[in-house]
A and B are shown apart, each in its own frame.
Chain A
Amino acid sequence: MKVACLRLALLAAVLALASATAGRAQEQGGRQAFEAKVVYCKTCHGLSGEGYRGYYPMPRLAGQQPKYLENQLRAFIERRRVNPVMFNVAHVLTPATLAALTAHFHNLNPPPLGGAPRDNVGLGRTIYEQGLPEANIAACSACHGPEAKGHEEIPRLAGQLYPYTVKSLTYWGRERGQGGVRDDTSAIMVVTTHNLDAAQISALAAYLAFLK
């Protein structure tokens, strides 16, 4: 009992201090610590970064744009993007570790996890490549590129998990751009996510889920 409380207190202390002190990873330094951190990420995000379907969908990180990843991790820390789990994960990362991690994941290229409904892949492709002007839905490809590989801060979408894309688009405004931060890039997507209906989101997410 005592031991448990002590550990709990310690854990809480660690959590509180972590943002003020350098992360454990850096203190330990070295390749080994970094490798351990990579494995840690991959535990949830797939052993090749291909994503993983847990209770919550864990997004694909493989091939992701480093700048985007970095921005998102910062967004978690700054609570611009609300995700308690990723907040904890992100705030122990030192800038150097973070940069190395994003580079590592950018270089991975596993095949997509797949597993999306195939019925509406065609509609998804249309939305992605051309948008739905009548519905004020811009063509995704304009920013995310014809192959959905992303660019700088614009994320790669190809091969992203269907449920993750669906969830992200559906709850965009509730998760991202929080805390009144004005210059969060997520604002760009607000209108589009608002204009997409559930069927369109599903179609789009399905198309992206199979995209290599």
Chain B
Amino acid sequence: MNAHTARSRIMKRTSAIVAVAVIAALAATPGQTQELPVRNCTWCHGPSAQGSGAAPRIAGQREQYLVSQLHAFHDRSRDNPASKQYMWGATARLSPEMARDFALYFSSLPAEAAEDGDTGLAALGKVIYEQGVPDANVVSCIVCHGPRGEGFEAIPRLGGMSHGYLKSRLEQWGQGYHASARPMPLVARTLSADEIEALASYLSFLK
């Protein structure tokens, strides 16, 4: 009984100390995200914005691209199933200023490569990425997205994005979603399932 009482006391004291320490730590950190509620984004896109699940990496993404996509969600022209489900609501009340701020913030974060594609397919993906398949009217991606998949202005950075995200975007363009994002629907329509798989694999490793 005494032992239990003592244990209980220690526990109470320990939990109190822990609580105080944590509160102190919390209070001591500068509120770097006070104005910009980045947690609204990192909630799904991962704490370092490296993407999680269906939510793509947004860290290091092109600022102009991020802005354009936020607007596309807002005006509902980007109508992929996941966009519709998550991003329409998330951007419904987003002001253009805040969209710009978010874009600026996330574009400034360092990006990590997902490296979750099929390594065996990466070589084929590289050929398609760099050269296209002219016989099949598949354009080369490199001309718009750059040799390291770095993107350009409002053309997104692709290097190191997750295999699953890239794949579903390409598939969904082929299915008619987000038709306003020309010329990507045209590109996606010419790609076979295998080629999409290979491209997504290659890009997931590209840094």
Chains A, B in direct contact (C-beta < 8 Å): yes
Give A residues with C-beta under 8 Å from B: 1, 3-5, 7-8, 11-12, 14-15, 18, 23-25, 36-37, 39-40, 42-44, 47, 52-56, 58, 84-85, 88-89, 91-92
**Can you show 24 pairs from A to B with CB atoms below 8 A apart?**
A4-B120, A7-B124, A8-B124, A11-B124, A11-B128, A11-B133, A15-B131, A23-B135, A24-B135, A43-B139, A43-B186, A43-B187, A53-B152, A55-B152, A55-B155, A58-B144, A84-B130, A84-B131, A85-B131, A85-B142, A88-B132, A91-B134, A92-B134, A92-B135
A-B residue pair count with CB separations less than 8 angstroms: 92
- Specify which of B120, B130, B151, B194 lies most central, judged by the most chain A CB atoms within 10 Å of its CB: B120
> Given B123, B133, B134, B142, which contacts A55 in the complex, CB threshold below 8 Å?
B142
- Residue contact A11 to B127, C-beta cutoff 8 Å: yes
Give B residues with C-beta under 8 Å from A: 118, 120-121, 123-124, 127-128, 130-140, 142-147, 150-153, 155, 182-183, 186-187, 190, 194, 198
- Residue contact A88 to B150, C-beta cutoff 8 Å: no
Name B195's closest neighbour in chain A (CB-CB): A7
- Residue contact B118 to A88, C-beta cutoff 8 Å: no
Using A7-B124, A8-B123 as known contacts, say yes or no to A44 and B135 having CB atoms under 8 A apart: no
> Please, how many angstroms separate the alpha-carbon atoms of A91 and B135 in the complex?
9
> Please, how many angstroms separate the alpha-carbon atoms of A115 and B127 in the complex?
32
> Given A1, A42, A54, which contacts B155 in the complex, CB threshold below 8 Å?
A54
Using A4-B124, A53-B153 as known contacts, say yes or no to A36 and B137 having CB atoms under 8 A apart: yes
- Residue contact A18 to B135, C-beta cutoff 8 Å: yes
> Please, how many angstroms separate the alpha-carbon atoms of A5 and B138 in the complex?
19
- Residue contact B131 to A88, C-beta cutoff 8 Å: yes
Which residues of B lie under 8 Å from residue A53 when comparing CB positions?
152-153
> Please, how many angstroms separate the alpha-carbon atoms of A86 and B121 in the complex?
24
| CB of B18 to closest CB in A, whole Å | 51
Name B144's closest neighbour in chain A (CB-CB): A54
